[in-house]
Amino acid sequence: MADQKYYIKDAILKAAPHHESFEKLWETKWKEPCSQGIYPFMFGDIADFKPVVERIIKKGLKEPYNWDEYAECFFSQAELLSQAAQRAEAAGHTEDACRLYLRSSAVYRIARFPAPRSEKQRQAWQKGKDVFYKGARLMTYPITEQIIPHTHRLPHEGESIPINILIPPCANASSPVPLLIIFTGLDGYRTELAVWQRGFLDKNVTTIVVEIPGTGDSPADPSDPTSPDRQWSSLLDWVSSSPVTQGRVDISKIIIWGFSTGGYYSLRAGHTHGDRLLGAVSLGGGAHHMFDADWLDNVNKLEYPFDLANTLAYKFGYGRNEDSASGLEEFKRQGAKFSLLEDGTLKKRTKAKILVVNGDMDEIFPIEDLWVATDTSGPRGTGNEIVGRVVKGKKHMGEPESFFIILEWIHGLFGLDGDVVHHLKMLRPKGRL
């Protein structure tokens, strides 16, 4: 029985109320973070979402959602914000224009949440990128998009890897700076995880934000367990050789930080690319049990806002050309091929320091995967170790305590000033742009 197999016990059998309707989702789960402008509403303002929410509630939308109908509800509001941004920019009100473009991107982001699985949601992703980068170029320190070559690609994979990059002005050949690479998650892409970049610039750290296979604009084959290895090799080669970074980034000081599903990929990269990394952080990432059929059979009604199992199946390349249900069944049959335990990844020797953090009551990826990662890992390089930190009584990713754990760890490895609160202040909508 699933309720006996996992640490969360019978919680795995208890449906969360937000799955009853969008109205319940808003009232019980989304209204509060939206009011604060935090995940999943980065760069957002609750005033922008209120008319959209009223529209959706009036329509009575609930699971299973018609994703085109859902996405369409957001478009007019996002466009109003974009138009206001254009007027502000034309009038020379740069800061106002920047915030309005980013607010528009936040509305488009929720329109394509949790994954762009329908035509309207794919449009929302494209439109959201457009207004995000219009806003990003107006920031005090503009976040720029780089399209880098996927030099390690297989013939059927995409030719380029789009990334966000932000390099501190102080970075130069005589004073190169560390690099933090952020791996995005299942539903948060580079247009959202950009919220972390300014805080690290203030600490003289370059940041790159890149999407994981099966999400955003990642060119990697989502159904090939080894495709991320090729994507990260291409990325790290570019960092080492590109005129954009060469001499400005200290390639001996590279840490990757993966959020949620991105944590699965950072844990893998910490083992496959450990000779090129100082450290790797997996925040809320899975490793092995996240692919259990018993787990996937139950998670659609738990902590995640929507149909987690189906969204994961889509992300890993299943159900894209057929109905979602059959794709999920195929994913459950084949999911073990992605296990970092089954494929031997966790037993590989690595020089990188690895930190794995999660809440013990996680209903998205079981806490058992943190224990698998720390208990199974093979021999480490001299003086290096894998560290697991469990946040008691917290669900997925163990926020906000997990942020303090990770930021302190990163500050320690990079030799920064230890002021981790600054990063969290910068996440808020009133943080400096």
Q: Mind telling me the catalytic residues?
A: 260, 362, 396
Of the candidates 414, 421, 375, the one whose C-alpha atom is nearest the C-alpha of residue 400 is 421
- The CA–CA distances, whole Å, from 218 to 106, 185, 190, 339 equal 20, 12, 10, 20
Q: Which two tokens stand for residue 345?
A: 């990844």
For residues 396 and 316, give the distance between their C-alpha atoms in angstroms, rounded to a whole number. Answer: 20
> Strands 160-166, 206-210: parallel, antiparallel or unpaired by DSSP?
antiparallel
Q: Which amino acid is at 165?
A: I
Assign 229 to helix, strand or coil: helix
For residues 48 and 28, give the distance between their C-alpha atoms in angstroms, rounded to a whole number. Answer: 19
- The CA–CA distances, whole Å, from 90 to 78, 93, 96, 141, 333 equal 19, 8, 11, 20, 55
**Residue 28 burial (CB count, 10 A):** 14
